[in-house]
Structure 1
Amino acid sequence: MRQLTVAVHAPDPITSAGLVSQLGTQQGIEIRDWEQRAEADVLVFAAEWLTPEIVLVLRRLAAEAGKPVVLVVSQIGEAELVPAIECRVVAVLPRSATTGERLAHAIRAASTGGGVLPPSLLGELLKHVERMQREVLDPMGVNTAGLTTREIDVLRLMADGKDTVEIAGELSYSERSVKHIIQGITGRLNLRNRPHAVAYAVRAGVI
C-alpha cells in the first residue's frame, strides 16, 4: 500500500487533535502540518457548516494547492454541496459519523481520483445534475459531456470506423462541415486527435 501524506485543518484544536488521532491508527497515512499542505497528497478540512467564508477558503486552497479535499462537516445541503465540489472537495463525511476507518477510506479514494458521498448527498447531487441538464443544457442542445447532438452523431460514426467522406454522406453534411465539427470538439475539449475524441465520448457514455 502506497504511503499517503495528509494535511489536516480544523476549526479548533480539539477537533484537529481528534482527527489526527483517528488517522494515527491507520496504516499507510502520514500526517503533515497544515503549513506543509502543498506537499500533501490529500487535504482533510473540517468545519461545522459550509458558510460562504469557508467556501472562500476552500476556493483559495483549490487555487493555491490544487489538492483533493476530504470535507468533514456537521451539516451540508445541496446549496453548499455544488460550490464545495467546484473547490475540489471530492469526499464529504458527516462529522458525527466520522471514524478513522471511514476517514482513511475517503482519503484513499480521493488520492486515486475517486470520491465518497453519503447516500442523501449523492441523491441531491444527481437531482442537481438532472435539473441542470433539463433547464440549462437541453435548451442549448448540449449534454453534460459538453457535446451537441450533431457532434455526438459525428463521433458515433467515427467510432464505427467511418472516414470524413463517409460521415458526410451519411449525415448529409459537406466534408468541410464534418472537419469543422471534429476540429470544434478537439479544440474545445482539449483532445489530441480523433481517437482521443472518440475515447472521451465513450467514457462520457454518450456513444
Structure 2
Amino acid sequence: MNQVKVAAWASDPITLAGLIDHLRTRREVRVMPGQQRGEAAVLVFAANRVTREVKAALRAAASETPAAIVFIAGYVDADDLAELAAWHVAAVLPRDAIGGDQLVRSIVAAASGRETSMRDLLQQAETLRRGGEATTLSPREVDVLRLMAEGWDTAEIANKLCYSERTVKNVIYGMTNRLKLRNRPHAVAYALRAGVI
C-alpha cells in the first residue's frame, strides 16, 4: 500500500499536535515535516473558523504547492466556499474528524485526485453547520466565557454585560449542559481549545 504524503497545519499548537499524533498512527499516510510541506500530496488544515489568518495560510499553501487540501473546521460560512475551492480545498470536515476514519478517507480521496464540486463543498459545509450547532457558542456565551477566563464572578459579569445575575447563571448553565461540560473551568478550557477566547 502506498502511503499518502501529508502535511498538517492548525490555527493553534494543541490542535496541530493532536492532528499530527493521529495521522502518525495511520498506516495509510506519512506525515511530512514542515520544511518538506511542498512534497505532500495532501495538506490538512484545522481551524475553528475561516478567519483572515486562516485564509492567508490557505492562500500561501495553495501558491506553494498544487496539493489538495482537506479543511477541518468548527464552522464554515457558505460565502467562504468559493475561496476555499480556489485554494484546492477538496473536503470540509467537522473538528471531531481529527481522531477518526473520515479524515483518512478524505485524505486518500483527495490524493487520488477525485474532483470535489462546489455543490459537494456546500453540502459538506451545511452538514458541518447542522452538526456543529451543538458545539457552537453564541456571542453571549463567548462574552460570558471571556469574563470568566479573566476571573470575574457572576455578579461582576452581570454588571459588566448589563445582564441580571440570573441571566448569567442561565447562560452558563445552558452552555455547560448543552456541551456536557463539568464546571466553569472546564467551560473556559473548552473555549480556549475551540479558539473562541
TM range (shorter): 0.5 to 0.7
Paired residue for 2:125, among 118, 121, 124?
A: 121
> 1:72 corresponds to which residue?
72
> 2:137 corresponds to which residue?
none
SS at 2:48's partner residue?
strand
> 1:95 corresponds to which residue?
95
> 2:191 corresponds to which residue?
none
Structure 2: give runs of 5+ residues left out of the alignment.
128-197
- Alpha-carbon distance, 1:90 to partner: 0.7
> 1:182 corresponds to which residue?
none
Given that residues 23 and 103 in structure 1 are in contact (C-alpha distance below 8 angstroms), is that contact kept between their aligned partners in structure 2?
A: no
SS at 1:75's partner residue?
coil
TM-score, length-scaled by structure 2: 0.57
Distance, in Å, in 2 between the alignment partners of 1:110 and 1:122 is 20
> 1:1-207, aligned counterparts within 5 Å?
1-114=1-114, 115=116, 117=121, 119-121=123-125
- Alpha-carbon distance, 1:52 to partner: 2.9
Given that residues 81 and 122 in structure 2 are in contact (C-alpha distance below 8 angstroms), is that contact kept between their aligned partners in structure 1?
A: no
Indicate the RMSD between aligned Cα atoms, in angstroms.
2.3
SS at 2:101's partner residue?
helix
Shift of the 64–90 alpha-carbon distance from structure 1 to 2, 3 Å rule, reads same
- Alpha-carbon distance, 1:13 to partner: 2.0
Bigger relative contact order (CA 8 A; separation at least 6)? 2
Amino acid at match of 1:76: V
- Identity percentage of aligned residues: 37
Given that residues 81 and 121 in structure 2 are in contact (C-alpha distance below 8 angstroms), is that contact kept between their aligned partners in structure 1?
A: no
Structure 1: give runs of 5+ residues left out of the alignment.
124-207
Amino acid at match of 2:18: G
Runs of 4+ in 1 over 4 A off after TM superposition: 115-118
> Whose radius of gyration is greater, 1 or 2?
1
